[in-house]
Amino acid sequence: MLSRRQFGQSLCASAALLPAASWSAPFRTIPQRASARIIVDNDFAGDPDGLVALAHQLLTPKTRTVLCTSSALDRKLVGSVPPDLSASAGKDIALDLIRRMRIADAPPVEAGSERLDPEHPESSAAARAIVAEAMRDDMLPLYISCGGPLTNVAAAIRLKPEIAKRMTLIWIGGGRYPHGSWEYNLTADLPAAKIVIEQSAIPLWQIPQNAYRQMQFSVAELQDRLRPISDFGAWLYDKFTTPPAFVDVGGSWPLGDSPTVLLSAISQESSHYVDRPALRIKPDGQYGAPVGGGRMVRVYERLDARLTFEDFLSLMRIHAAQG
């Protein structure tokens, strides 16, 4: 019988006869191709979770980002951003992000109006750009992901109602079902939400507050896992270091806009949703009676945070390694 030392020596001798480790040889990537077009709409001058979601969407090979549109912040909660320029400021930040990422074939970026103007939707460059992309013929289906108020989506629908049948909306917003409540993205532009949910036929995947709050990323993880990846990772991290004075940062920061990437580009299978009748929205953000007419909403109740964040961090590292 071999002794433990003899057994170990025999293993080492056998290993020496094996070919070089496969990781040292050139490898082939698993083939992926874009399966959808994405319009990314967000209030980029606000919570930096929207910038994380934008970077993630730009990096994934499974979608083609064709347009970015910036919406305005709630005028009462703009922090240091000029209240009449928050949509324009968001456009500038999104352009800065795209430049720092050195994205080839970068999508255009357009600013929306500072508040919804139902009588003059044509005044918004973002609305016109959304309409143009929705009406363009393309083999890939079109999604519009919205991580902020529905201002630009509503303006585009008012400008050309038929686009509602040419794209699917993934929206981060609204309170928990069945009652609802005040929620920032909903109440920041309640008239816009009512246009989209109550008056249009656009297919809607809603991620309400109780679902997007599942997307917790600890403050320590932001520093330890995001910041060291690259100069761009450090830039993204720095956006979290200057929150508005009224925000008391706890042990985590919910990256609540990231489900838009999970559902459009990674997987819908590991999350859970319920198809519900669309409900009218009361002035306080609570839900009222059904809209009627068979209008339904896909409401997500559980999201796969692990899959989302690990995919984002891995794509960030791959991007950094490619220079």
Rounded to 10°, the helix 49-59/231-238 angle is: 150
Token representation of residue 222: 């932001």
Query: Ranked by mean pLDDT, which of 68-82, 90-104, 111-125 comes out on top?
Result: 90-104
Nearest partner of 261 among 112, 115, 52, judged by Cα = 52
Task: Report phi then psi at 271, rounded to 5.
Answer: -110, 165
pLDDT for position 114? 83
Report yes or no on whether pTM surpasses 0.85: yes
Q: What is the mean pLDDT of residues 262-268?
A: 97
The 3 state secondary structure assigned to 89-139 is: HHHHHHHHHHHHHCCCCCCCEEECCCCCCCCCHHHCHHHHHHHHHHHCCCC
Better-scored residue on pLDDT, 87 or 23: 87
pLDDT for position 243? 83
Task: Name the band, by pLDDT with cuts 50, 70 and 90, for residue 157.
Answer: very high
pLDDT for position 9? 52
Residue 174 has pLDDT above 80, yes or no: yes
Burial 134-165 (b: 16+ CB within 10 A, else e): beeeeeeebbbbbbbbbbbbbbbbbbbeebbe
pLDDT for position 7? 43
Q: What is the mean pLDDT of residues 193-213?
A: 97
Residue 312, SS3 per DSSP: helix
pLDDT for position 60? 97
pLDDT digits (tens, 9 = 90+) for 37-64: 999 999 999 899 999 999 999 999 999 9
pLDDT for position 94? 98
Rounded to 10°, the helix 151-159/125-135 angle is: 60
The domains located in the chain, with CATH, are 36-321 (3.90.245.10)
177 DSSP assignment: T
Residue 199, SS3 per DSSP: helix
Q: Note the helical H segments in 163-321.
A: 184-187, 190-194, 209-212, 219-221, 231-238, 259-261, 305-321
Task: Name the band, by pLDDT with cuts 50, 70 and 90, for residue 11.
Answer: very low
Task: Report phi then psi at 51, rounded to 5.
Answer: -70, -35
pLDDT for position 171? 98
